[in-house]
Amino acid sequence: MTAPAPTDHAPPDPKVRPPAVSPAAANLHTAASPAGAPAEGADAFPLHGHLFFYFSQIMAHRNRRLNAELKPFGVDYARWRIMAVLNDQPGCSMQQLADTTSVDRTSLTHTLKLMEAEGLVSRTPRATDRRSVVLGLTEAGSRLFVDILPTVRAQTDLALTGIGAGEADTLMRLLARMAENLRDES
């Protein structure tokens, strides 16, 4: 999967840039901490030097923005994510959808029931195993997905402001490698 080339946007806000100190260097404090200051030494954990802090910040800001942008379409980020997977992997199983969306099956089942009632997704018993279902977008779901796609791409472009296409490709490869490193082997 290749990230879309970012569009021309204003430069990123300097207030949200990472600190000038590298994450490794940020952990090398030796002075004693005054009372009430963050712990030093082995217990020190400078939040802005922690890679996953930025992941959670990025996702929280993006989800908040997307939820506001998707509201006129009658969906939220959770429904959009399901639609994106079903567009990419039509006929997938509940387990495949849960794995790809990183949503627990109970929440996923609830959201899918709502989306089925809204006419956006179909759940069809699998011919070879009636306990399993095949999931897909309905025609209405596919149309809505196409209608929403420019909005989602615009938010992605905003997040990639100031990042070149080559950098975005490198970032995608590195993130895919990290995801693979942490994937369950069960």
> Would you say the C-alpha torsion 82, 142, 73, 69 has a positive or negative sign?
positive
What value does the mean pLDDT take over residues 180-186? 79
The mean pLDDT of the chain is 83
Is 177 in a helix, a strand, or coil? helix
Please tell me the distance from the alpha carbon of residue 61 to that of residue 135, in angstroms, as a whole number.
29
What value does the mean pLDDT take over residues 153-166? 96
* Segment 1-24, tens digit of pLDDT: 444 444 444 444 444 444 444 444
Q: Which of 9-23, 102-116, 127-141 has the lowest mean pLDDT?
A: 9-23
Evaluate if residue 153 carries a pLDDT over 80: yes
What value does the mean pLDDT take over residues 68-78? 96
Q: Each residue of 21-52: b (16+ CB within 10 Å) or e? A: eeeeebbeeeeeeeeeeeeeeeeeeeeebeee
Q: Which of 8-12, 127-131, 154-158 has the lowest mean pLDDT?
A: 8-12
Give the domain ranges of the chain: 52-182
Evaluate if residue 70 carries a pLDDT over 90: yes
- Higher pLDDT residue, 126 or 28? 126
**What percent of the chain shows pLDDT beyond 70?**
76
Which pLDDT does position 115 carry in this prediction? 97
Which pLDDT does position 110 carry in this prediction? 96
Which pLDDT does position 89 carry in this prediction? 96
* Segment 18-38, tens digit of pLDDT: 444 444 444 434 444 555 665
The CATH class given to the 52-182 domain equals mainly alpha
* Segment 80-102, tens digit of pLDDT: 999 999 999 999 999 999 999 99
Which pLDDT does position 39 carry in this prediction? 59
Please tell me the distance from the alpha carbon of residue 79 to that of residue 74, in angstroms, as a whole number.
10
pTM, two decimals, is 0.72
